[in-house]
Amino acid sequence: MPTIKDIAKAAGVSPASVSRVINNGPKVGAKTREKIKRIMREMQYQPNANAQAINVQNNASIGIVLADLTDPLFAKMAHGIEKIAVQKDLQIFLNSGAFDRTSELNAIEVLLEHRYKALVVHSAMIDDKTLIEYARKIPGLVLLNRHIREIENRCIWLDDKLGGALMADHIIEQGHKKIVVIGVDGIQNNTRQRLEGIKAQLAKYPVHYEIEMLEQGAATYEGGEIAVQNILARGMEFSAILAYNDAIAVGAVSMLKAHGLSVPSDVSVMGFNNLILAQCMKPKLTTIHNPIEDMAMKATELALRLSKGDSAEQLEFRPDEHKYIPELIVRQSVQKIG
């Protein structure tokens, strides 16, 4: 693999000139430039990005950490980030945390060791305190899909409380009084926020509601099946299920059917996120739209801006630009009762 020196020698010039050509720098004569280019092509020269990175401060690419590659929401985030990257002609380097605290931390560390300056981090398992420290230490770090008050100017998040409220409102309007919420465990506070939103909203109505919270492991189809099995096994009474996401909702519907309960005539079910899944389901899933792709784009732009030197504090902080609004999507999985 030829180095810059080999090229220089072959072209009869100095390494400095070759470097200038590589970087499209000025101060190289036209014919010299052409000659060097030709030789580079002939010798199949390939710059060594590591050597370049060691010299220049600035690693322009964007480093991203995603909690879980298997989450379908991931695809949307990745897509949003990618859009910005393509638009600005930047590279993205993705590291996955596999939904595990240690891996997530490791993913961040690796990116830091490679001296990425703009970091979009979607962490589900790292605690607030640690993330705050990171944020303080790394100017270009932005948290996607997470809200930590102390560093909220560095966060892009969904108004989960509102999301919960929207769910509650809809389900109340349809006359439901015995409600089961299926959340997920882990550090993620989306679950808690939404539950708060749900409860707060219920409290506004002058009726007594029974609400059960069920936190179980996986935010997946299988997770939804298991959750419903548990609910049924416990003999709970309920007419509605509010699921943490669409996949859980779909799994729940399937397990309900397996037990002879049909949706929405026997049980109403709501999902969250409004992924494709929700609209191909039968019955089509009533859910909450999550503008995660927009959020990802915003987070990327922010990370890029911050990494360019504008400190977060200098940027005026407008909460409405950081907090995104969920929306109720009414379809067919909720039915009016009593």
Partner DNA sequence: TTGAAAGCGCTACCAT
Partner DNA sequence: ATGGTAGCGCTTTCAA
Binding site for DNA (CB under 7 A): 1, 3-5, 12-17, 19-20, 22-23, 25-29, 31-33, 47-48, 51-52, 54-56
Provide the minimum distance between the beta carbon of 202 and DNA in the complex, in angstroms, as a whole number: 55
**83 contact partners, CB below 8 Å, separation of at least 6:** 293, 297
- Which residues are 93's β-sheet partners? 63
- Residue 113 host element (H or E): helix 101-113
Of 17, 19, 96, 190, which one interacts with its own copies (CB under 8 A)?
A: 96
Residue 13 contact among DNA, its own copies, none, beta carbon within 5 to 8 Å by kind: DNA
* Smaller CB separation from its own copies, 29 or 309: 309
16 is in the binding site of which of its own copies, DNA, none (Cβ under 5 to 8 A by kind)?
A: DNA
Total Cβ atoms within 10 A of residue 230: 15
Residues 6+ apart with CB under 8 A from 328: 166, 167, 169, 170, 286, 288, 289
Using CB under 8 A as the criterion, what x/- string covers residues 127-156 for binding its own copies?
----------x-------------------
List the one residue from 38, 88, 115, 308 that touches its own copies (CB under 8 A).
Answer: 115
Could you give the 3-state DSSP secondary structure of residue 175?
coil
The CA R_g of the chain, rounded to the nearest whole Å, is: 26
Q: Beta 118-122 vs 62-66: how paired, if at all?
A: parallel
Closest contact distance (angstroms) between CB of 298 and its own copies is 18
Give yes or no for residue 109 binding its own copies (CB under 8 A): yes
- Helix H segments across 182-233? 190-203, 221-233
Nearer to its own copies, 14 or 52 (CB): 52
What is the residue type of 54?
I
The single residue listed with the structure tokens 């943490």 is: 244
- Dihedral sign of CA atoms 8, 11, 14, 20 in order: negative
Q: Which of its own copies, DNA, none does 20 bind, CB closer than 5 to 8 A by kind?
A: DNA
- Binder of its own copies out of 12, 16, 23, 86 (CB under 8 A): 86
Residues 60-79 binding its own copies (CB under 8 A) are 69-72, 74-76, 78-79
Residue 96: in which H helix or E strand, if any? Answer: strand 92-96
Binding site partner of 22, from its own copies, DNA, none, Cβ cut-off 5-8 A by kind: DNA
Q: Which does 23 bind (CB under 5 to 8 A by kind): DNA, its own copies, none?
A: DNA
Please give the backbone phi and psi of residue 240, each rounded to the nearest 5 degrees, phi first: -145, 145
Long-range CB pairs of 126-129 (<8 Å, 24+ gap) are 126/101, 126/187, 127/187
Residue 93 contact, options DNA, its own copies, none, Cβ 5-8 Å cut-off depending on partner type = its own copies
Task: Give least dist CB 131 to its own copies, A.
Answer: 16
Q: Point out which span in 48-56, 119-127, 151-159, 325-333 binds its own copies (CB under 8 A).
A: 48-56
The CB-of-34 to DNA minimum distance in angstroms stands at: 10
The nearer residue to DNA, 56 or 69, going by C-beta atoms, is 56
- DSSP code, position 273: B
C-alpha to C-alpha distance for 44 and 52, rounded to whole angstroms: 18
Nearest to 180, CA basis, from 247, 254, 124, 234: 234
Which residues of the chain form contacts with its own copies (CB under 8 A)? Answer: 44, 46-51, 53-54, 69-72, 74-76, 78-79, 82, 86, 91-96, 98, 103, 109-110, 112-115, 137, 221, 247, 250-251, 253-254, 276-277, 279-282
